[in-house]
């Protein structure tokens, strides 16, 4: 793919010339590319699912950039050559990730903490923690708070838990488009 920079003949040119080349404008540059070809044959199930997911991402991105405040948030992290729309599409395509769950400061007492790392390609908006007894009954649940620095989250216990044997913790992290990642860990 060729790029034309400050060429008075091709600057701002867009469209197809014959059946050979296509001119596009992207961030003030004129891009010259070969003509796209038509797809032959039926799409596989995986391709259909990816197409549907991309369609959902474009719908999300259009609504995101229609909100001036959200558009500015996406625009603030866009790299050169990217738009707020591009960042919003990418955000939709990637769910958050939860790693490094640290239970060493939790012994079942009020005020004990559970720390974890939750990341996303744009931002994690909330982390929800549930602590369950061995029989599945809820000990407590609530939202973790972001720690300074942006990727660490800390949950502070609000209820006493007399026995940790067989208990489990479920952590859910959500991003702006509403995707959720979940991890479950036993004590």
Burial of residue 127 (number of CB atoms within 10 Å: 0-12, 13-18, 19+): buried
pLDDT digits (tens, 9 = 90+) for 70-81: 999 999 999 988
DSSP letters along 63-111, please? HHHHSHHHHHHHHHHPPTT--HHHHHHHHHH---EEEEEE-TT-SSSTT
10-22 core/surface letters (b: 16 or more CB in 10 A; e: else)? beeeeeeeeeeee
22 DSSP β-pair partners: 16, 33
pLDDT digits (tens, 9 = 90+) for 34-53: 887 887 889 899 999 999 99
Residue 9 has which token pair?
Answer: 């003949």
pLDDT at site 62 = 96
pLDDT at site 116 = 95
Instruction: Give me the residues of the chain with pLDDT under 50, please.
Output: none
Question: Model's pTM, two decimal places?
Answer: 0.77
Helix (H, G, I), strand (E, B) or coil at 27: coil
Domains parsed from the chain with CATH numbers: 2-34 (no CATH), 60-91 (no CATH), 97-186 (2.60.40.1220)
């Amino acid at each position: 793919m060729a790029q034309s920079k400050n060429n008075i003949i091709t600057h701002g040119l867009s469209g197809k010339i014959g059946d050979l080349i296509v001119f596009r404008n992207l961030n003030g540059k004129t891009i010259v590319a070969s003509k796209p070809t038509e797809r032959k044959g039926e799409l596989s199930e995986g391709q259909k699912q990816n197409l549907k997911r991309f369609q959902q991402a474009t719908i999300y991105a259009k609504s995101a950039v229609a909100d001036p405040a959200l558009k500015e948030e996406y625009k603030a992290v866009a790299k050169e050559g990217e738009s707020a729309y591009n960042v919003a599409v990418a955000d939709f395509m990637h769910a958050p990730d939860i790693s490094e769950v640290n239970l060493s400061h939790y012994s079942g007492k009020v005020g004990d903490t559970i720390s974890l790392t939750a990341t996303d390609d744009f931002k994690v908006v909330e982390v929800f923690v549930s602590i369950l007894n061995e029989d599945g009954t809820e000990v407590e649940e609530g939202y973790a708070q972001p720690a300074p620095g942006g990727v660490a989250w800390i949950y502070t216990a609000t209820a006493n838990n007399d026995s940790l044997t067989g208990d489990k913790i479920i952590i859910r992290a959500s991003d702006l488009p509403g995707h959720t990642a979940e991890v479950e860990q036993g004590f």
